[in-house]
Amino acid sequence: MFYVKNVPGRERALRAVVGIGALGFAALDRSGVGIAAGLAGAMLALTGLVGWCPMCALVGRKLERRP
């Protein structure tokens, strides 16, 4: 199934960078905070790389199409 991208380019890059940073923090910290950061980082990195966010789709966010 193909999904329509609902995350703009700059936000995708920011999500990927922050997600990878959170995954790096989770690799260093094994407490509950590290595990939570790892889960959040994985979700941010995945949505940044794919360009589709399920929570954004849930609230009806769509990208503007330029002609």
Taking CA atoms, 15 is separated from 29, 30, 50, 66, in Å, by 21, 22, 11, 23
Return the number of other C-beta atoms located less than 10 Å from residue 67's C-beta.
2
pLDDT for 30? 86
Residue 32 banded pLDDT, cuts 50, 70, 90: very high
Domain boundaries, the chain: 9-58
Span 5-29, pLDDT tens digits: 889 999 999 999 999 999 999 999 9
Span 35-53, pLDDT tens digits: 999 999 999 999 999 999 9
Question: pTM here?
Answer: 0.82
Residue 3 banded pLDDT, cuts 50, 70, 90: confident
The alpha-helical segments, DSSP class H, found in the chain are 9-28, 32-50, 54-58
